[in-house]
Copies of this chain bind each other. A is one copy, B any other.
Amino acid sequence: MAQMKELKRAYGFDDVAIAPGEITLNPEGVDTSFKFDGHEFKIPFLASAMDAVVNPSFAGELSRLGGLAVLNLDGLQTRYEDTESIYSDIASTPREEATAFLQKIYSQPVRDDLVSRRVEEIKASGATCAVSLTPANTKRLAPLLKEAGAEILVVQSTVTTVRHISKSLRGLVFSDLIESLGLPVLVGNTVSPEVTRQLMEEGVSGILVGVGPGAACTSREVLGIGVPQVTATIQTAYARDQYFEDTGRYVPIITDGGIRTGGDVCKSIAAGADAVMIGTPFAQAKEAPGLGFNWGMATPHASLPRGTRIQVGTKASLEQILLGPSSLTDGTQNLVGALEISMGMVGAATVREMHQAEMIIAPSIKTEGKIFQHAGLGS
Protein backbone atom coordinates (compact mmCIF):
# COMPACT_ATOMS: atom_id res chain seq x y z
CA MET A 1 0.00 0.00 0.00
CA ALA A 2 1.17 3.49 -0.78
CA GLN A 3 3.07 5.12 2.04
CA MET A 4 4.21 8.66 2.65
CA LYS A 5 8.00 8.71 2.82
CA GLU A 6 9.24 9.57 6.30
CA LEU A 7 12.49 11.35 7.05
CA LYS A 8 14.63 10.79 10.11
CA ARG A 9 16.97 13.47 11.50
CA ALA A 10 20.69 12.74 11.20
CA TYR A 11 23.52 14.52 13.04
CA GLY A 12 27.04 15.61 12.23
CA PHE A 13 29.93 16.74 14.38
CA ASP A 14 28.76 20.34 14.58
CA ASP A 15 25.30 19.27 15.75
CA VAL A 16 26.34 17.48 18.94
CA ALA A 17 28.44 17.62 22.07
CA ILE A 18 29.53 15.20 24.75
CA ALA A 19 28.25 15.61 28.31
CA PRO A 20 30.81 15.19 31.09
CA GLY A 21 30.47 12.10 33.26
CA GLU A 22 29.76 11.33 36.89
CA ILE A 23 33.33 10.46 37.68
CA THR A 24 36.55 11.87 36.27
CA LEU A 25 39.85 10.21 35.49
CA ASN A 26 43.35 11.52 35.09
CA PRO A 27 44.03 11.81 31.35
CA GLU A 28 47.35 10.01 31.82
CA GLY A 29 45.49 6.92 32.97
CA VAL A 30 43.27 6.34 29.96
CA ASP A 31 43.91 3.66 27.34
CA THR A 32 43.19 4.75 23.77
CA SER A 33 44.61 1.69 22.04
CA PHE A 34 43.03 0.24 18.91
CA LYS A 35 43.17 -3.51 18.24
CA PHE A 36 42.02 -5.90 15.56
CA ASP A 37 43.06 -9.34 14.43
CA GLY A 38 46.30 -9.45 16.37
CA HIS A 39 47.35 -5.92 15.48
CA GLU A 40 47.46 -3.29 18.19
CA PHE A 41 48.02 0.42 17.80
CA LYS A 42 48.69 2.73 20.72
CA ILE A 43 46.50 5.51 19.36
CA PRO A 44 43.26 5.02 17.41
CA PHE A 45 44.35 7.13 14.45
CA LEU A 46 44.59 5.95 10.85
CA ALA A 47 45.84 8.14 8.01
CA SER A 48 43.64 8.21 4.91
CA ALA A 49 44.79 6.49 1.77
CA MET A 50 45.21 9.79 0.00
CA ASP A 51 48.21 10.61 -2.17
CA ALA A 52 48.73 13.99 -0.51
CA VAL A 53 48.76 12.40 2.94
CA VAL A 54 50.57 9.08 2.95
CA ASN A 55 53.85 8.00 1.38
CA PRO A 56 56.16 5.37 2.88
CA SER A 57 58.06 7.81 5.08
CA PHE A 58 54.84 9.32 6.44
CA ALA A 59 53.73 5.77 7.26
CA GLY A 60 56.96 5.28 9.20
CA GLU A 61 56.48 8.46 11.21
CA LEU A 62 52.85 7.73 12.07
CA SER A 63 53.85 4.23 13.15
CA ARG A 64 56.50 5.68 15.46
CA LEU A 65 53.79 7.85 17.05
CA GLY A 66 51.50 4.87 17.55
CA GLY A 67 49.06 5.04 14.63
CA LEU A 68 48.56 3.38 11.26
CA ALA A 69 48.89 4.92 7.81
CA VAL A 70 47.24 3.42 4.75
CA LEU A 71 49.04 3.84 1.44
CA ASN A 72 46.93 4.28 -1.69
CA LEU A 73 48.08 1.67 -4.25
CA ASP A 74 45.92 3.17 -6.98
CA GLY A 75 47.57 6.58 -7.06
CA LEU A 76 50.80 8.41 -7.67
CA GLN A 77 52.94 6.07 -5.59
CA THR A 78 52.40 3.19 -8.00
CA ARG A 79 52.33 5.19 -11.22
CA TYR A 80 55.59 7.07 -10.78
CA GLU A 81 59.00 6.00 -9.63
CA ASP A 82 60.09 9.50 -8.72
CA THR A 83 57.07 10.86 -6.88
CA GLU A 84 58.82 13.86 -5.39
CA SER A 85 58.95 15.74 -8.66
CA ILE A 86 55.29 14.89 -9.32
CA TYR A 87 54.18 16.31 -5.96
CA SER A 88 56.25 19.36 -6.61
CA ASP A 89 54.71 19.79 -10.09
CA ILE A 90 51.20 19.50 -8.63
CA ALA A 91 51.99 22.11 -6.02
CA SER A 92 53.41 24.55 -8.53
CA THR A 93 50.69 24.21 -11.18
CA PRO A 94 48.59 27.37 -11.43
CA ARG A 95 45.18 27.01 -9.85
CA GLU A 96 43.14 27.15 -13.03
CA GLU A 97 45.17 24.33 -14.61
CA ALA A 98 45.25 22.10 -11.54
CA THR A 99 42.23 19.90 -12.31
CA ALA A 100 43.38 19.23 -15.86
CA PHE A 101 46.91 18.56 -14.68
CA LEU A 102 45.69 16.07 -12.06
CA GLN A 103 43.61 14.29 -14.70
CA LYS A 104 46.68 13.97 -16.91
CA ILE A 105 48.96 12.78 -14.10
CA TYR A 106 46.50 10.09 -13.07
CA SER A 107 46.10 8.76 -16.60
CA GLN A 108 49.43 6.91 -16.33
CA PRO A 109 48.96 3.18 -15.62
CA VAL A 110 49.67 1.53 -12.27
CA ARG A 111 52.98 -0.41 -12.38
CA ASP A 112 53.15 -3.79 -10.64
CA ASP A 113 56.81 -3.32 -9.72
CA LEU A 114 55.99 -0.11 -7.89
CA VAL A 115 53.25 -1.86 -5.91
CA SER A 116 55.86 -4.22 -4.53
CA ARG A 117 58.40 -1.52 -4.01
CA ARG A 118 56.11 0.72 -1.94
CA VAL A 119 55.13 -2.18 0.28
CA GLU A 120 58.78 -2.91 0.89
CA GLU A 121 59.54 0.72 1.62
CA ILE A 122 56.81 0.90 4.27
CA LYS A 123 58.09 -2.25 5.90
CA ALA A 124 61.60 -0.89 5.82
CA SER A 125 60.37 2.17 7.73
CA GLY A 126 59.37 -0.11 10.59
CA ALA A 127 55.65 0.45 10.17
CA THR A 128 52.91 -2.11 9.95
CA CYS A 129 52.18 -2.13 6.22
CA ALA A 130 48.58 -1.23 5.35
CA VAL A 131 47.68 -0.51 1.74
CA SER A 132 44.47 0.30 -0.05
CA LEU A 133 42.94 -0.80 -3.34
CA THR A 134 39.73 0.05 -5.11
CA PRO A 135 37.38 -2.89 -5.71
CA ALA A 136 38.12 -2.79 -9.45
CA ASN A 137 41.82 -3.62 -9.14
CA THR A 138 41.70 -5.71 -5.97
CA LYS A 139 41.70 -9.12 -7.68
CA ARG A 140 44.66 -8.32 -9.84
CA LEU A 141 46.87 -6.63 -7.25
CA ALA A 142 45.97 -8.36 -3.98
CA PRO A 143 48.22 -11.43 -4.52
CA LEU A 144 51.08 -9.16 -5.55
CA LEU A 145 51.00 -7.07 -2.42
CA LYS A 146 50.58 -10.08 -0.19
CA GLU A 147 53.71 -11.52 -1.69
CA ALA A 148 55.53 -8.22 -1.15
CA GLY A 149 54.71 -8.46 2.53
CA ALA A 150 51.71 -6.17 3.08
CA GLU A 151 50.02 -6.92 6.39
CA ILE A 152 46.65 -5.20 6.15
CA LEU A 153 44.52 -4.63 3.07
CA VAL A 154 41.98 -1.82 2.84
CA VAL A 155 39.38 -2.04 0.08
CA GLN A 156 37.62 1.23 -0.40
CA SER A 157 35.15 2.81 -2.75
CA THR A 158 32.74 5.68 -2.38
CA VAL A 159 29.94 3.37 -1.36
CA THR A 160 30.57 -0.24 -0.54
CA THR A 161 27.94 -2.94 -0.34
CA VAL A 162 28.22 -6.69 -0.28
CA ARG A 163 26.30 -7.07 -3.51
CA HIS A 164 27.28 -4.94 -6.51
CA ILE A 165 25.44 -5.48 -9.77
CA SER A 166 27.50 -4.69 -12.81
CA LYS A 167 27.46 -5.56 -16.48
CA SER A 168 31.18 -5.28 -16.99
CA LEU A 169 32.64 -6.66 -13.80
CA ARG A 170 31.95 -9.76 -11.81
CA GLY A 171 31.55 -8.34 -8.33
CA LEU A 172 34.27 -8.71 -5.77
CA VAL A 173 33.29 -11.39 -3.22
CA PHE A 174 34.82 -10.32 0.09
CA SER A 175 34.60 -13.73 1.73
CA ASP A 176 36.55 -15.28 -1.18
CA LEU A 177 39.11 -12.49 -1.10
CA ILE A 178 39.67 -12.80 2.63
CA GLU A 179 39.98 -16.58 2.49
CA SER A 180 42.38 -16.58 -0.44
CA LEU A 181 44.48 -13.69 0.83
CA GLY A 182 44.85 -14.66 4.48
CA LEU A 183 45.26 -11.02 5.56
CA PRO A 184 43.00 -8.80 7.65
CA VAL A 185 40.84 -6.76 5.28
CA LEU A 186 39.27 -3.44 6.23
CA VAL A 187 36.38 -2.46 3.98
CA GLY A 188 34.49 0.75 3.35
CA ASN A 189 32.80 3.00 3.02
CA THR A 190 29.36 2.44 4.36
CA VAL A 191 26.96 4.18 6.73
CA SER A 192 24.29 1.50 6.78
CA PRO A 193 23.80 -0.84 9.75
CA GLU A 194 22.54 -3.55 7.37
CA VAL A 195 25.62 -3.35 5.14
CA THR A 196 27.85 -3.22 8.22
CA ARG A 197 26.32 -6.44 9.46
CA GLN A 198 26.61 -8.11 6.05
CA LEU A 199 30.27 -7.11 5.68
CA MET A 200 31.01 -8.48 9.15
CA GLU A 201 29.38 -11.72 8.14
CA GLU A 202 31.67 -11.83 5.11
CA GLY A 203 34.63 -11.88 7.50
CA VAL A 204 36.07 -8.38 7.18
CA SER A 205 38.29 -7.19 10.03
CA GLY A 206 37.04 -3.63 10.23
CA ILE A 207 34.63 -1.20 8.62
CA LEU A 208 35.30 2.31 7.41
CA VAL A 209 32.27 4.46 8.13
CA GLY A 210 31.44 7.58 6.15
CA VAL A 211 29.67 8.52 2.95
CA GLY A 212 29.48 12.18 2.06
CA PRO A 213 29.57 13.23 5.68
CA GLY A 214 30.23 16.91 5.34
CA ALA A 215 27.40 19.39 4.98
CA ALA A 216 29.54 21.05 2.31
CA CYS A 217 30.67 17.78 0.81
CA THR A 218 30.91 17.17 -2.93
CA SER A 219 28.88 13.97 -2.71
CA ARG A 220 26.10 15.98 -1.14
CA GLU A 221 26.25 18.74 -3.76
CA VAL A 222 26.68 16.52 -6.77
CA LEU A 223 24.83 13.33 -5.92
CA GLY A 224 22.56 14.30 -3.06
CA ILE A 225 23.99 11.39 -1.10
CA GLY A 226 25.49 11.58 2.34
CA VAL A 227 24.92 10.82 5.99
CA PRO A 228 26.40 13.00 8.73
CA GLN A 229 29.11 11.17 10.66
CA VAL A 230 27.68 11.10 14.16
CA THR A 231 24.51 9.35 13.03
CA ALA A 232 26.50 7.12 10.66
CA THR A 233 28.80 6.12 13.50
CA ILE A 234 26.00 5.58 16.02
CA GLN A 235 24.03 3.30 13.71
CA THR A 236 26.97 1.24 12.45
CA ALA A 237 28.30 0.94 16.01
CA TYR A 238 24.92 -0.44 16.97
CA ALA A 239 25.21 -3.05 14.22
CA ARG A 240 28.71 -3.92 15.48
CA ASP A 241 27.46 -4.34 19.05
CA GLN A 242 24.59 -6.54 17.93
CA TYR A 243 26.95 -8.66 15.81
CA PHE A 244 29.28 -8.98 18.81
CA GLU A 245 26.40 -10.09 21.04
CA ASP A 246 25.26 -12.61 18.46
CA THR A 247 28.66 -14.04 17.50
CA GLY A 248 31.24 -13.03 20.10
CA ARG A 249 33.39 -11.52 17.36
CA TYR A 250 34.18 -7.81 17.78
CA VAL A 251 34.77 -6.05 14.46
CA PRO A 252 35.87 -2.46 14.94
CA ILE A 253 34.43 0.46 13.03
CA ILE A 254 36.49 3.44 11.96
CA THR A 255 34.93 6.83 11.39
CA ASP A 256 36.41 8.11 8.14
CA GLY A 257 35.78 11.58 6.79
CA GLY A 258 34.95 15.06 7.93
CA ILE A 259 37.13 15.06 11.05
CA ARG A 260 38.88 18.39 11.54
CA THR A 261 39.44 18.95 15.26
CA GLY A 262 40.11 17.13 18.49
CA GLY A 263 36.45 17.69 19.28
CA ASP A 264 35.47 15.75 16.14
CA VAL A 265 37.77 12.88 17.15
CA CYS A 266 36.24 12.75 20.65
CA LYS A 267 32.69 12.84 19.25
CA SER A 268 33.49 10.01 16.81
CA ILE A 269 34.73 7.80 19.62
CA ALA A 270 31.87 8.78 21.93
CA ALA A 271 29.43 7.94 19.11
CA GLY A 272 30.85 4.44 18.96
CA ALA A 273 33.92 4.45 16.72
CA ASP A 274 36.92 2.30 17.66
CA ALA A 275 39.26 4.53 15.68
CA VAL A 276 39.24 7.48 13.30
CA MET A 277 40.69 7.93 9.85
CA ILE A 278 42.12 11.36 9.18
CA GLY A 279 42.76 13.14 5.88
CA THR A 280 43.11 16.90 5.69
CA PRO A 281 44.49 17.44 9.22
CA PHE A 282 47.33 15.04 8.31
CA ALA A 283 47.79 16.64 4.88
CA GLN A 284 48.73 19.73 6.89
CA ALA A 285 51.63 17.92 8.56
CA LYS A 286 55.20 18.77 7.61
CA GLU A 287 55.70 15.07 6.86
CA ALA A 288 52.80 14.86 4.37
CA PRO A 289 54.02 14.47 0.79
CA GLY A 290 51.42 16.89 -0.65
CA LEU A 291 53.45 20.00 0.18
CA GLY A 292 50.49 21.82 1.72
CA PHE A 293 47.94 20.66 -0.86
CA ASN A 294 45.33 17.93 -0.82
CA TRP A 295 43.07 16.49 -3.52
CA GLY A 296 40.29 13.95 -3.67
CA MET A 297 41.00 10.39 -4.65
CA ALA A 298 37.51 9.43 -5.70
CA THR A 299 36.38 9.56 -9.26
CA PRO A 300 32.99 7.96 -9.15
CA HIS A 301 32.31 8.61 -12.84
CA ALA A 302 34.56 9.18 -15.82
CA SER A 303 32.89 12.45 -16.68
CA LEU A 304 33.12 13.94 -13.20
CA PRO A 305 36.38 15.54 -12.07
CA ARG A 306 38.72 13.60 -9.80
CA GLY A 307 38.73 16.26 -7.17
CA THR A 308 39.79 19.79 -6.82
CA ARG A 309 43.26 20.55 -5.53
CA ILE A 310 42.91 22.45 -2.27
CA GLN A 311 45.65 24.43 -0.59
CA VAL A 312 45.45 23.22 3.00
CA GLY A 313 48.77 24.68 4.11
CA THR A 314 51.52 23.12 6.19
CA LYS A 315 50.75 23.74 9.85
CA ALA A 316 52.93 21.67 12.15
CA SER A 317 54.79 18.40 12.53
CA LEU A 318 52.75 15.22 12.66
CA GLU A 319 53.95 14.74 16.22
CA GLN A 320 52.64 18.18 17.19
CA ILE A 321 49.32 17.53 15.48
CA LEU A 322 48.92 14.26 17.35
CA LEU A 323 50.69 14.80 20.66
CA GLY A 324 51.16 18.54 20.97
CA PRO A 325 52.24 20.81 22.48
CA SER A 326 49.64 23.05 20.95
CA SER A 327 49.88 26.78 20.67
CA LEU A 328 46.42 26.94 19.11
CA THR A 329 43.01 26.83 20.76
CA ASP A 330 41.07 25.79 17.65
CA GLY A 331 41.41 22.08 18.32
CA THR A 332 43.58 21.23 15.32
CA GLN A 333 46.64 20.20 17.35
CA ASN A 334 47.28 17.62 20.06
CA LEU A 335 44.46 15.40 18.88
CA VAL A 336 45.53 12.51 21.11
CA GLY A 337 45.83 14.78 24.14
CA ALA A 338 42.35 16.08 23.44
CA LEU A 339 40.97 12.55 23.30
CA GLU A 340 42.68 11.61 26.57
CA ILE A 341 41.39 14.70 28.40
CA SER A 342 37.92 14.20 26.99
CA MET A 343 37.91 10.56 28.11
CA GLY A 344 39.10 11.71 31.53
CA MET A 345 36.26 14.20 31.82
CA VAL A 346 33.75 11.56 30.82
CA GLY A 347 35.30 9.04 33.21
CA ALA A 348 36.08 6.57 30.41
CA ALA A 349 39.20 4.47 30.96
CA THR A 350 39.04 2.83 27.53
CA VAL A 351 37.67 3.50 24.09
CA ARG A 352 34.87 1.04 24.73
CA GLU A 353 33.92 2.84 27.94
CA MET A 354 33.93 6.08 25.97
CA HIS A 355 31.23 4.52 23.74
CA GLN A 356 28.89 4.84 26.73
CA ALA A 357 29.32 8.64 26.97
CA GLU A 358 26.16 10.70 26.99
CA MET A 359 25.83 12.91 23.93
CA ILE A 360 23.51 15.83 23.39
CA ILE A 361 22.23 17.76 20.42
CA ALA A 362 23.72 21.24 20.71
CA PRO A 363 24.55 22.92 17.43
CA SER A 364 27.78 24.83 17.37
CA ILE A 365 27.67 28.16 15.63
CA LYS A 366 30.91 29.55 14.37
CA THR A 367 30.63 33.10 15.65
CA GLU A 368 33.53 35.02 14.27
CA GLY A 369 35.36 37.17 16.73
CA LYS A 370 33.44 35.74 19.66
CA ILE A 371 35.48 32.61 20.26
CA PHE A 372 36.74 32.69 23.77
CA GLN A 373 38.66 30.27 25.92
CA HIS A 374 36.33 28.89 28.50
CA ALA A 375 36.67 25.79 30.51
CA GLY A 376 34.29 26.25 33.33
CA LEU A 377 36.22 28.94 35.13
CA GLY A 378 33.94 31.85 34.44
CA SER A 379 33.85 33.54 31.10
Contact = CB atoms under 8 A, between A and B. Distances in A.
A92 interface: no
7 contacts: A18-B225, A24-B159, A211-B345, A215-B362, A224-B266, A296-B373, A303-B326
Q: Which DSSP category, helix, strand, loop or mixed, fits chain A's interface?
A: loop
B5 A234 contact: yes
Contacts of A212: 17, 374-376
Interface in A23-53: 23-29, 47-50, 53
B167 A26 contact: yes
A378 B157 contact: no
Contact of A2 (B245, B267, B277, B337): B245
Given A166-B25, A376-B210, A377-B158, A365 B325 contact: no
Given A7-B359, A208-B376, A304-B337, 20 more contacts: A5-B238, A5-B271, A8-B360, A14-B365, A17-B212, A17-B225, A17-B227, A22-B161, A26-B169, A48-B377, A215-B362, A217-B374, A218-B375, A223-B341, A224-B266, A296-B373, A296-B374, A298-B376, A303-B334, A304-B334
A378 B49 CA distance: 7
A266 to B, nearest CB: 3
Contacts of A280: 372, 379
A378 B21 contact: no
Contacts of A371: 216-218, 221
A68 interface: no
Interface in A170-198: 188-192, 194-195, 198
A69 to B, nearest CB: 11
Copies in the complex: 4
Contacts of A290: none
Interface stretch (A58-66, A80-88, A111-119, A255-263): A255-263
A19 interface: yes
B296 A158 contact: no
Contacts of A292: none
A128 interface: no
A203 interface: no
A102 to B, nearest CB: 11
Given A227-B360, A304-B337, A372 B215 contact: no
Interface string A229-272: 00100110110011011000000000011110111111100111
A278 B87 CA distance: 41
A93 interface: no
A301 to B, nearest CB: 5
Contacts of A328: 305
Contacts of A219: 374-376
Contacts of A48: 377-379
Contact of A25 (B27, B165, B334, B359): B165
A301 B220 contact: no
A55 interface: no
A191 B20 contact: yes
A149 interface: no
B17 A218 contact: no
